[in-house]
Chain A
Amino acid sequence: MNGASVLDARSIALRGRIVDALEGGRRGHVGASLSLVEILRVLYDDVLRVRPAEPSWPDRDRFILSKGHGCLTLYAVLADAGFFPVDELARQCTPDALLGGHPDTHVPGVEAATGALGHGLALGVGMALAARMRGRPARTFVVMGDGEIDEGSVWEAALSAAKHNLSHLAAIIDYNKLQSYGPVSDVLPLEPLADKWRAFGFAVREVDGHDVAALRATFAALPFEDGKPNLIVAHTIKGRGIPFAEGDPLWHHKASVDAETVARLRGALAVAAHA
């Protein structure tokens, strides 16, 4: 479960969309987006009940990218699903663009503005409680980063999620083990991570976060236990799919991406596509 499973053509194509967005804005959280691709791909391809032509459909499943800095992947997946035109990607972060450096609700398909860390799980708890009050079948999914869960607000929300037995809420941790400054194990260790969440009252499963079939099977098993909120530890690799970016904290965020770098990224994806 080290996240090293082979990437298929669709995963590589979505990464190509991410590079499109990166090229347009010349900036973005590259590594933090690349670890997320398969998680969001499987959610939007196979799991979430959403209607791209009707983003506010009341019975839709709610999805919150709590680690908002991973938005390049969210944009790529939402554009691919038809929430907005694909050519918006290339305008990311340019003056007056639809897509900014963190997601906001001006973007069709984005449920909540995120970017400040540690907000998504509490919003998700509120959405899940709202769905219960309304008697709707809607489920709520929240993707958090591993560094993000350093925030105390995450654990406050976790207590409420367990109290209210929110089995229609699923939180996913993109556990790429590398936060902004360096390894999670150095900056602020999280282990034993799965046990922490179990102790907080969650039903927990671990999965290779780049293995599409394993992700599908894990999501298909929701809810994992009656009366418990769900937590998926997705083991991933920061920068996954770009060998020279994998596991390198310097690729967490790039503030100036030049044409040469874009060419190198495309080259790496081309190699992967022919592997």
Chain B
Amino acid sequence: MEMIGKLAQRDERVVFVGSDLGAGVLAAMRAASPERFFMEGVSEQAIIGIAAGMAMDGFIPYVNTIATFLTRRCYEQLAVDVCMHGLPVRLIASGGGAVYAPLGPTHMAFDDFALLRALPGMTIVAPCDAPEMARLMEASLDLAGPLYVRIAKGGDPVVSRAELPFTIGRAILLEEPGDVLFVGTGVMTTRALAARELLAARGIDVGMLHAHTVAPLDVKAIRDAARDVRLVVTVEEHFRNGGLGSAVVEAFADAGVAMPVLRCGFPPAYSYAFGSQDHVLTKNGLDPAGLARAVEDILAARTVPA
């Protein structure tokens, strides 16, 4: 979030629009550029419209609130006001996936990718850690159309690598493919990397492609990385349906490529497990051990041609 203030210092087009969230958030920006700092009420529909109206006059509004409210509550505003006009509104979504597990399903965004993938022109990015988030924010300034950013909890282990170039829309190959290829997004890339270590210890070679950009999907990178693997495993903190896994399956189907794909994500149910993000991930087999087990099981079941 502090990055928004830094961008605002550098670029007069940058405006912040909040929705009664985060006491004291961006205090420095508010002090430095009060005329471009708008903390509005609990009124997501109006906020998206207001941001769109500003963007129509050449501003780049960064809008922040909780992921579920920034997607479900104002979906028509996102479609009509933002996407139909192709405006550079930046949706900075707090608490994607299971980050707000203790708060229950009203606050958990398991459907944000699915909802936003249906909007023409919407770019969807889920960075895996803070340094990658910073690289994304740098790149966000010059993206032409709308952008949705699912920010992580904060304090996540750093697995992104500064030497690998970050470009919106380009997946990053973190580990060369083996028999299997993980395609992950957001902080699930971190879990998948850990699962990869567990599988390597058991003699299964797994590559890791980090698809931080869910839409538009980097189909070429995925097809290239999957060329010689037996199995692609998508890993996301999202419903199995409608998100990254669905996008990957569609990409193979559209290309006429027969590729077994295991989609790891949440089942179609509202989660009342509470606890923590890790608790909810583990309960749904999305922790490193669970992911490794799923890969072993599917390979052992010989549903995948050797």
Contacts and interface: CB of A to CB of B under 8 A. Distances in A.
A122 B56 contact: no
B79 to A, nearest CB: 8
Interface stretch (B80-88, B164-172, B203-211): B80-88
Nearest to A151: B45
Nearest to B41: A159
Contacts, number: 98
B289 to A, nearest CB: 46
Contact of A105 (B43, B53, B85): B85
A160 B43 contact: yes
Interface in B85-140: 85
Given A111-B56, A113-B84, A119-B81, A126 B49 contact: yes
Majority secondary structure, A binding face: helix
Interface string A100-117: 000011000001111110
Majority secondary structure, B binding face: helix
B53 A118 contact: no
Contacts of A111: 56
A112 B45 contact: no
A133 B41 CA distance: 20
Contacts of A153: 43, 45-46, 49, 77
A131 interface: yes
Contacts of B51: 126
A155 to B, nearest CB: 9
Given A116-B80, A119-B80, A125 B59 contact: no
A46 interface: no
Interface stretch (B32-40, B191-199, B216-224, B269-277): B32-40
Interface of B: 15, 35-36, 38, 40-41, 43, 45-59, 76-77, 80-81, 84-85
26 contacts: A111-B56, A112-B56, A112-B85, A113-B80, A119-B77, A122-B49, A122-B52, A123-B53, A124-B53, A125-B46, A125-B50, A125-B53, A126-B51, A127-B56, A129-B53, A129-B54, A130-B59, A132-B35, A133-B59, A153-B46, A156-B45, A157-B43, A159-B46, A160-B43, A160-B46, A160-B50
